[in-house]
Amino acid sequence: MFDYIIIGGGSAGCVLANRLSANPNNTVCLLEAGVSGGAKRHKYLIKAPIGIGLLMWHPTLNWGFHSQPEPQLNNRTLYSPRGKVLGGSSAINAMVYIRGQKEDYDAWAAAGNTGWGWDTLLPLFKRQENQLRTADNLCGTALHNSDLHGTGGPVCIDDPNHVDALSRTFISAGEELGYRNNPDFNGLNQEGFGYFQLNQLNGERWSASRAFLDPIKHRKNLTILTEAHAAKLLIEDHKAIGVEYLKSNSINRIHSKKETILCGGTFASPQLLMLSGIGPKEELAKHDIPLIHPLEGVGKNLQDHLDIILRHKNKQPAGFGLSARFALKAAKAPFQYLKNRNGFFSSNTSEVGAFIKSDAEMDRPDIQMHFTPMYIKKHGRSKPPLGHAYSLHLCNLRPKSRGEILLNSANASDAPKIHYHFLENEEDLKAMIKAVKLGREILETHAFSDYRKKELAPGEDKQSDAEIAEFIREEAESIYHPVGTCKMGNDPLAVVDEQLRVSGIQGLRVADASIMPSLISGNTNATSMVIAERAAELILQNDQR
């Protein structure tokens, strides 16, 4: 029997385990379906930023989900990686630390979610942060507005240890077109071109597990169970009292005295609710799952950033590629990294980016770009051409299309059924076409003239809006920012209230990216951690009453 059971040891679950177990009087159990990540063969792959190339498809550390055929994307199934290890997706992602725009959170509060506006959440971001940038850095300046950034927290944030010459060229291209050089995407104004800050320390990935679990994993009141797959919530008289889970081919049960908190993420949290009889009545009936509480919003409101990639052939052996020069560089790289924690093994491959407006009349950026000094297609699985290339990711930050998560079966071991419904709203396609045009303009600047040889994608034969649209339908993919399937709010599709309590069930909360009413403007990992920080506050406040 535990006071609190946390289901899911990802970015949010690690935060909650830390905060709830800080009181030695609270007994806490953290349940994670994946591995600990501590095995030597996993540990170094996770630590080295360049490991993302293998982590993207790792059969042990990644769930490797796929969507259902997407009607607006030529019926393609889209790859949807998720971390299957302590730290969750923070252990396998590109480590980019973006908090989003102030307006994102103020919109949550304006929709009736009291306590979720920017002024409330900024102190929580700062509490978590250990901002490591100094004046002696890539930007040549310390961060301005230090009141916007925290130091001394568990989440280490720093500039890249390696920046390729091509990445610097991307920033120069932005300056050539008149965009501002932005030294701080987490400052007062997100707009512009600049270096991404990363969750890292001394050239090593700083996952949520390293930040929040490693320092406290030996607490006597904290139990961490890995390779323990939650199968069903235990509900008694509309109150959550524990969880049934699978471990070592056996069914086990643990019980909670105070609360059970779901931190499974946008795919797993709604799936577990439905497997437990909480969700849309018709969906549960399809799989003969007894209905405990009808909640139509479970699994609905799925949102993600759709990503399209422009690719250019490089006439120089710069960046990453298939050449004798790069092979020699690659042979030296492991030793350079082991000795100094620098070189391209310390690269996350997305060192720089931009936030821009698709229309000058907009009041804030709606397009995000990630530049990579290498050939990228199909999540790195498509064989690159001989020589060198570079790629530019483009995504619409605030899509209007909404998808859903359904069940494949009543078996917890089966993957959830993912329907993104990308581009079902015509405005989303228009925004993506604008993004492609803007991306092309950047890659055609004089700054890239020493590198630019040939446009590989979309290809010089695709110029009209219709041709660009077809390119998007044929190649666009998720950039791995799914949110929203256990929506916070007070409308008919809301699953949790502003306290993150599941409607109609006592002692049960959801605290992960699935509660976001709407996508934030950027990478979602920082926000997932701060959602859990806010949840810990709410839970502990309730505990004191």
Residues 133, 188: Cα–Cα separation, whole Å: 17
3 state SS of 256: strand
How many CA atoms lie within 13 Å of 299's alpha carbon, on the beta-carbon side? 25
What phi and psi, each to the nearest 5 degrees, are found at residue 155? -95, 105
Containing 272, the helix (H) or strand (E) segment is: helix 265-275
Instruction: Count CB neighbours of 31 within 10 A.
Output: 25
Helix (H, G, I), strand (E, B) or coil at 99: coil
Cβ neighbourhood burial of 537 (10 Å; 0-12, 13-18, 19+): middle
Catalytic residue among 149, 370, 393, 481: 481
CB 387 within 8 A of CB 456: no
CA distances from 355 to 184, 194, 198, 519 (A): 11, 9, 16, 15
* C-alpha angle 381-384-389 in degrees, rounded to nearest 5: 125
Query: CB of 316 within 8 A of CB of 325?
Result: no
DSSP string, 189-224: ---EEEEPPBSEETTEE--HIIIIITTTTT-TTEEE
Exposed, middle or buried, 415 (CB in 10 Å: 0-12/13-18/19+)?
middle
Distances from the Cα of 259 to the Cαs of 148, 294, 510, in angstroms?
Answer: 33, 21, 11
Return the sign of the alpha-carbon dihedral for residues 149, 152, 156, 158.
positive
Orientation of helix 465-475 relative to helix 426-443, angle to 10°: 100
3-state secondary structure 327-394: HHHHHHHHHHHHHHCCCHHHCCCCCEEEEECCCCCCCCCCEEEEEECCCCCHHHCCCCCCEEEEEEEE
Tokens 């920012």 correspond to 481
Structure tokens at 315: 């006439």
- List Cβ neighbours of 5 (8 Å cut-off, separation of 6 or more): 28, 29, 31, 242, 243, 254, 255, 256, 259, 260, 261
| Rounded Cα–Cα distance for residues 433 and 358 (Å) | 10
- 481 as an active site residue: the answer is yes
Q: Is 308 exposed, middle or buried (0-12, 13-18, 19+ CB in 10 A)?
A: buried
> Is-contact 266 89, C-beta < 8 A?
no
Residues annotated as catalytic (active site), given as ranges = 481
